[in-house]
Structure 1
Amino acid sequence: MIAAAAVTGGFGLLIGSFLNVVIFRVPAGRSIVRPPSSCGGCGVRIRPFDNVPVLSWLLLRGRCRACSAPISPRYPLIELLTGIVFAAVALRFAPWEALEPPSLAAIGAVAETLAFAALAAVGIALAWIDIDTQRLPDAIVLPSYAAVGLLLTAAAAATGEWGSLLRAAAGAGILLIAYFAMAFAYPAGMGLGDVKLAGLLGMALGWLGWGELAVGGFGAFLLGGAFALVLVALGRAGRGSGIPFGPWMLLAAAVAVFAGVPIWHGYLHLVGLG
């Protein structure tokens, strides 16, 4: 299992390298395919052996081979983060023990794993774009509905978990409506990009369970609010300061995916309902 997760993490490093392109080009309205990646300082095309995730940055000591311009450490950080998250998703979902002989249950679990790996990649890209631009581009969010939805539908078809798929649709609707109501009531505090992202996250969390949906939906406000209070206390922000909310939505969703069940059960026990 560990070896398989390591392989998945290695694949995540490659996806992370691609996400660097997405994060830089999509907000600018540029193609993510052409032209090939090049140095921002001298314009020289980056050669394949200088584009190996994390390793190339270390070997080049964070500088362009052609002009010695500094290369931001953010690039290997995103690659490494994506690799770690992919490995974690594999450990959380992948049915390694059931792959031989193949079964419908294993096929369903693979589809579920791919759905959450896709969501992880999208989430990393969106978090960084929101930090940079305070935008959550439709060009990333809207196609993700189709990708995650189709993969979860395939998982339900293979395993017969149609109830989980129905709950996923309900989760998407619940968070969409809740976030839209908040955006309508206070447009300065929440944008439509957050609303659209909420539906995507609601779909994935609803697939897992009502507890995960509750933890992910409420956790975003808890984490984002705590961060805002810290900034205000440090004098880094005021009441009118704009703080990207997408990263906190995504972080809360990640917490819900990996620890939502114990958190939810702990909450129910705390309020006397567990």
Structure 2
Amino acid sequence: MMPPILVLTLFIFAFGLVVGSFLNVCISRMPRNESVVFPPSHCPLCKYRIRWFDNIPLLSYLWLRGRCRGCGAHISLQYPLVELLNGLLTLALFWRFGLSLSFLALFLFCGALVVITFIDIEHQIIPDEISLPGIVIGFIFSFFLPWQTWLGSLVGILLGGGSLLLVASCYQWLTGKEGMGGGDIKLLAMMGAFLGWKAVPFIIFASSLVGSVVGIAMMLILKKDSKLAIPFGPYLAFGAVLYIFYGGQLIQWYLHVGSAVRG
């Protein structure tokens, strides 16, 4: 008989996979303003209604070899990737926070980030249907979370949205062009609502650093000029997840290194 903790761990991972399957529906339908509930899952080409045995996260994709049972069309690798990513994130949150209110709050938060990341990569938009309710939900959670306060969440909303709004306004004033969409501003406000104001500078720094490195690498590889449009939402999401798991340690390390250099 398997130990209870192993059974619970497998259940949490499987639960994350199942929710990841639903996140795929959101990623596919939300940009087209379609319902995420009706109609049931189907092939976008032949409209074949996907049966339950063809909709088992990860396993069905492998069993069908990435093909639709109805027409044989290729199924995007995005589907198992999103399922696996959400499963691993759910498992990591469980290991970090256990079955707690913090786990529930950050499970919802990270699920929203997964949807936002893949939609922004493909369509370069961040749905208001996720970020705006996310701001409200994050603020409500702040009244109950042990590591968060309502004031810290409120300041996080203002600092998160206000800082990017200031950057976007300055960039547009200097260049006459829009350099950052409103979706990024509302996304960072949602991050501030869930994680508090202390997370905002870390997320901005981490996302800007990683985004700059990846952006320069892409321009060199693709040999395109600086006008290459790169969505910023995925980098903000990366910075937020990095803060959840390693923010405290990285900040302490930075302060320690800084004091050592000054000393």
TM-score (norm 1): 0.86
Q: Which runs of 4+ in 1 moved over 4 A?
A: none
Displacement of 1:3 after TM fit?
4.2
> 16, 19, 22: which is aligned to 2:23?
19
- Amino acid aligned to 1:186: Y
Q: Note closer, same or farther for the CA distance 1:257–1:2 as it changes in structure 2 (3 Å cut).
A: farther
Deviation at 1:63, TM superposition (A): 1.0
Corresponding position: 1:232 with 2:219: yes
The answer to whether structure 1 residue 182 and structure 2 residue 167 are counterparts is yes
Indicate if the aligned counterparts of 1:115 and 1:152 stay in contact, CA closer than 8 A: no
8 Å CA contact 2:16, 2:83 repeated in 1: yes
* Residue among 38, 41, 45 paired with 1:41: 45
2:211 alignment partner AA: G
Q: Is the 8 A contact 2:126 2:233 kept in 1?
A: yes
The question of 1:7 aligning with 2:11 is answered yes
Inter-partner Cα distance in structure 2 for 1:257 and 1:131: 22
**Residue identity opposite 2:231 in structure 1:** P
Task: Provide the C-alpha distance between the structure 1 equivalents of 2:223 and 2:117, rounded to a whole number of angstroms.
Answer: 20
Shift of 1:93: 1.4
Q: 1:1-274 to 2 correspondence within 5 Å?
A: 1=5, 3-94=7-98, 110-155=100-145, 164-187=149-172, 188-206=178-196, 210=198, 212-272=199-259
Matching residue's letter, 1:173: L
Deviation at 1:203, TM superposition (A): 2.1
Deviation of 1:236 after TM superposition, in Å, equals: 4.2
Structure 2 counterpart of 1:258, one-letter code = F
Query: How far apart are 1:237 and its partner, in Å?
Result: 3.4
CA contact (8 A) 1:215 1:263 kept: no
Task: Give yes or no for contact 1:152–1:165 (8 Å, CA) kept in 2.
Answer: yes
Spell out, residue by residue over 1:26-54, the C-alpha distance to the aligned partner (whole angstroms, 9 max, x if none).
01111111111111221111111111111
Residue 175 of structure 2 aligns with which residue?
A: none
Letter in 2 for 1:230: A
| 1:129-160 deviation line (CA, Å, top 9, x unaligned) | 0001100010111111223332332335xxxx
Q: Distance in 2 between matches of 1:15 and 1:236?
A: 38
> Which shows bigger deviation, 84-93 or 65-74?
65-74
TM-score for the superposition, normalised by structure 2 = 0.89
1:198-218 CA distance string (max 9 Å, x none): 1111222227xx3x4432221
Q: 1:171 to 1:2 in 2, by over 3 A?
A: farther
3-state SS of paired residue (1:155): coil
SS in 2 for 1:186: helix
User: Structure 1 residues 271 and 121, CA, compared in 2 at 3 Å: closer, same or farther?
Assistant: same
User: Partner letter of residue 216 of structure 1?
Assistant: I
In the aligned structure 1, how far is the partner of 2:69 from the partner of 2:92? Answer: 33
Cα distance between partner residues in 1 of 2:243 and 2:225: 29
After TM superposition, give the deviation of residue 2 of structure 1 in Å: 5.2
- In the alignment, is the contact (CA less than 8 A) between 1:205 and 1:216 conserved in 2? no
The answer to which of 174-183 and 124-133 deviates more is 174-183
**Structure 2: how far apart are the matches of 1:172 and 1:239?**
31
Q: Percent identity?
A: 35
- How many pairs does the alignment contain? 252
Deviations 1:156-214 (A, max 9, x none): 5xxxx6x633222212211111011011122422111000001111222227xx3x443
Contact 1:221 1:248 in 2 (8 A): yes
Query: RMSD between aligned alpha carbons?
Result: 1.9
Q: 1:254 to 1:237 in 2, by over 3 A?
A: farther
Runs of at least 5 residues in structure 1 that lack an aligned partner in the other structure: 96-109
* Corresponding residue SS for 2:259: coil
Partner AA of 1:8 in structure 2: I
CA-CA distance at 1:23 after TM superposition: 0.5
